[in-house]
Structure 1
């Protein structure tokens, strides 16, 4: 019998997040820059001939039937009418509900890896379209490069970023993305910017995120979740700290690894924290073809 094969699923941060409108179907229009990080979940897959998709380990707080990995495998199976099944084992290292894209990344890794293991030969574009049915962040992880994103997050343009180091803190709470987007205080009319605005003014250098490019969700999350505000305030003593996605994680871009480690070592004991480096590409980018 074939053994489990391991595939990495990287985290991401949003260097900024603007909400520019809302579609008739309720989805919010946004602009953001996605940056891949070298913090990974590990997704282990073992194809089977019985056609059954099942997760074989427990993931705290994530019932198997709601797991995006399971849903991704079943979606791919249905879309391609593939008769094969798979056992899925997920090793979580990316905080759940932390705005770091762990669930979406895991799902993207399942789509990419099973496309190869099941020998389905879907293109990257086809996989991205499938991924969008699972969540707005999933196409980015299949895209495979750091990206300027628009639409609901699915309109992606590759962007070159310096491989900066980041201090990432999480106050060990789960922020409800749906609750934040439903908040009546959320403004949805930030003036659209251009990729050249971001590249030209921010220059994409460490410690130089532009003040015009903020996270529109940050104030609302901080008012609803004081622990996120505390985290942000603590990290802000060292520089321009930001919140990623809809929280709860906050990050600070720094000039080198030593600085990042020194800051992280001082973090409050109640807070989870790690140092990560930006990635140029997704580790599985060579498993997909355009």
Structure 2
């Protein structure tokens, strides 16, 4: 059984507090985009096998897709094994939920493959044990995610919006970015409610102009190239640009495919991981 595991971007990422266990309390507007990994799973007699088209991606318990399969097997007492074939297209450690979306795909496919047929909510609870972005990746689309990522409210689809993504040639540790984040220094929070209301009205200009990610300053402070990428994207005619998640990927929204194409071509001269895609 084969499925597409879609990447996500953050239209807004707000940090509103911290729990006693150290986890940050978030309010995020998440959006799926048409950039995806392909996850294929088949039954085997026993164990978990993971194959990947990218040699630098671990194929053991360090991989979230592997962890998801193990968790699902243990939770629902499945004796049978699985072989997972992972075709990676989403860059790793990029702020695009590449690992989380693969894990979500594994949970969804195994749910069908073994006829367990648990509800979406139960799958989301299971996914939260793997990572804060996994519940959202199970649901997909346009959503407001709160708490540590487990409280989801589906929003009106913000689809068919053109964007260009640029990932500089390094990864970022989400854990390290949150560790360095200082909530007391935040002056302006994202306009989350206004953004939601303008997503409902499909007011593309407002949304693209008012995106905000509180983690941006942390990653930007360590990697000045993120500022340079944002400027380059904006100079190419983007309505607005922002870093996704904990970074380092930057994306810009465009109201015109020709401008987006020009931006893509310019950025491709400087960076390997450049994508032109749409919201879905």
Scaled by the length of structure 1, the TM-score of the pair is 0.87
- Alpha-carbon separation, structure 1, partners of 2:90 and 2:130: 19
Q: How does 1:201-220 map to 2 (within 5 A)?
A: 203-209=201-207, 213-220=211-218
Residues 51, 59 of structure 2: 8 Å contact kept: no
Q: How does 1:69-80 map to 2 (within 5 A)?
A: 69-80=65-76
Q: How does 1:19-30 map to 2 (within 5 A)?
A: 19-30=15-26
- Alpha-carbon separation, structure 1, partners of 2:191 and 2:229: 30
SS in structure 2 of the partner of residue 178 of structure 1:
helix
TM-aligned CA distance change 1:48 to 1:61, over 3 Å: closer
Residues 21, 189 of structure 1: 8 Å contact kept: no
TM-aligned CA distance change 1:19 to 1:195, over 3 Å: closer
Say whether residues 1:56 and 2:55 are aligned partners.
no
Residues 84, 118 of structure 1: 8 Å contact kept: no
Deviation at 1:27, TM superposition (A): 0.8
What is the aligned residue count?
274
Say whether residues 1:165 and 2:166 are aligned partners.
no
Q: How does 1:129-144 map to 2 (within 5 A)?
A: 129-144=125-140
TM-aligned CA distance change 1:134 to 1:190, over 3 Å: farther
Deviation at 1:63, TM superposition (A): 4.8
SS in structure 1 of the partner of residue 262 of structure 2:
helix
Scaled by the length of structure 2, the TM-score of the pair is 0.90
Alignment correspondent of 2:222: 224
Say whether residues 1:198 and 2:195 are aligned partners.
yes
- Alpha-carbon separation, structure 2, partners of 1:37 and 1:214: 18
- Alpha-carbon separation, structure 1, partners of 2:151 and 2:114: 28
SS in structure 2 of the partner of residue 228 of structure 1:
helix
Higher deviation after alignment, 29-38 or 257-266: 257-266
- Alpha-carbon separation, structure 2, partners of 1:188 and 1:73: 40
Deviation at 1:23, TM superposition (A): 0.5
Alignment correspondent of 2:118: 122
Alignment correspondent of 1:17: 13
How far does the alpha carbon of each residue in 1:5-42 deviate from its partner, in whole angstroms, 9 at most, with x for none? 32110011001111111111111111111110011101
Q: Give the CA RMSD over aligned residues.
A: 2.2
Deviation at 1:257, TM superposition (A): 2.9
Structure 2, gaps ≥5 residues long = none
SS in structure 1 of the partner of residue 277 of structure 2:
strand
SS in structure 2 of the partner of residue 174 of structure 1:
coil
How far does the alpha carbon of each residue in 1:81-104 deviate from its partner, in whole angstroms, 9 at most, with x for none? 111110111111001011111100
Structure 1, gaps ≥5 residues long = 280-290
SS in structure 2 of the partner of residue 64 of structure 1:
coil
SS in structure 1 of the partner of residue 111 of structure 2:
helix
Higher deviation after alignment, 72-81 or 185-194: 185-194
